[in-house]
Amino acid sequence: MDLTDKRALITGGTSGMGIATARAMAEKGASVILTGRDETRGESAAEEIRAEGHDAQFLAADFSEMSEVRRVADAAGEIDVLVNGAGFAALGPTVDTDEAAFDGLFQINVKAPFFLVAALAPKIAARGGGSIINISTMVASYGQPGMAAYGASRASIELLTKAWAAEFGPQNVRVNAVAPGPTLTPAMEPRLAMATEFAKTIPLRRIADVHELSDVITFLATPAARLHQRRDHPRRRRPPRDLRTDEMSLVAPPGVRTRSHSAARSRSCSPATRTRRPGCGPVAEITAPSDAGELRWDTSERGLLTDTAAIHDGPEAGQLRGRAVLISEG
C-alpha cells in the first residue's frame, strides 16, 4: 500500500476525516494538498504533516463559490488521487429547509465535486491513471427524518461515483465512494447523542474512529485496490444489436484458471428468451490469486462484464473472481 511519488488532493482536509486521511496518505509517501475554508487551521495542519517529514501544501478555498473550485483545480496541478471530502450538512425537516440551505448543500456536496472531477480526472488519466474517492454517508441509502436534502445530495454523489467509474475506468482512473456511518469527528461532537442512536442500527453497534475511515480511503488510493471500482450493472437491459454470443475472450495473468458454463435455467431464461435476454447466455468465469494483477474482459470482444469480486469463503478464499455473461443479438 505505497503512495510514493503520488500527489493527492484532499478537499475538506483540515480536520476530522480529512486531516486523518491526509496524514495517512502522507505516511504512505504521497505529497498531499489540503483544502479548507479556515486558513489558520489549514496552514497549521499542513505544517504538522511537514514536521513529520512529509510533503504537504494548503490551499484556502470556499467551495460555495465556483471560482474557488476552478482555482483549486488549477492550483493543484498534476495529481494522481482526488478525495472529495469537503461537505456541508444542513439538517432539519423538509418544511423548515429554505432555498439557501438546499442550494448550499448541492453546491458543496454535488456541484463542486462534479466540476473538480471534470477538471482533474483527465489529468489523473494523463499521468497513467489513479484514484478518485468520494465521501458520502450511510443516510444516502435510506430515508431518514430531518435528512431529506442532505441525504439526497449524498445520494447524488453516489450515483456520480457509478457514472464516473464507467466513464473514466477505461482510462485507468478508479472511482469509489466511502459512505461512513456515525464517526467521531469535531463536526459530530455536537450531535453525539444522535450519532449514538445511529450506531445502534449498524452491525458493530459503535461509533467509528476517524482513523478507521481514513485507512479505508487511503487503501482505495493505492495500487493494492486496483480491482476496486464502483459500478452497478442493471439486472436486465436490452443489449445493442451488434452483440453476438460467440465473441468473448478472457484476459488474465499467465497460469490463471478459467472455466465456462451455461447459465442456470429459470423462468426468465426459458428457451424462448435465452438468446435474447442478458444473463441468459453462456457464462464465463475467471479465478486468480489475489496478487495476480488486474482481471479484465477484452473490450475488443463482446462480453458484458457483470462483476469482479474477492472470494471470502470456501477453498478459493483469498482469490479474485471475474464473471461475464455472453449476450446475443437483441
Cell of 240: 445493442
Cα–Cα distances in angstroms (integers) from residue 245 to residues 42, 211, 264, in the given order? 56, 47, 16
Half-sphere exposure of 309 (CA within 13 A, CB side): 10
Q: Distance (Å, rounded) from C-alpha 84 to C-alpha 130?
A: 14
Cα–Cα distances in angstroms (integers) from residue 107 to residues 49, 62, 272, in the given order? 29, 11, 49
150, 164, 168, 219: which one is catalytic?
A: 150
Cell of 170: 477505461
Cell of 176: 469509489
The dihedral sign for the CA sequence 27, 29, 31, 33:
negative
Name which of 14, 8, 49, 21 is nearest 212 in CA terms.
21
Long-range CB contact pairs, 254-262, < 8 A, 24+:
256/286, 256/287, 256/288, 256/292, 256/295, 257/286, 257/287, 257/288, 258/284, 258/285, 258/286, 258/287, 259/284, 259/285, 259/286, 259/287, 260/284, 260/285, 261/285
DSSP E strand stretches across the chain? 7-10, 31-36, 56-60, 81-84, 130-135, 173-178, 183-184, 208-209, 250-251, 257-261, 283-289, 296-297, 303-310, 319-326
142 is catalytic: no
Half-sphere exposure of 325 (CA within 13 A, CB side): 21
What amino acid positions are annotated as catalytic residues?
150
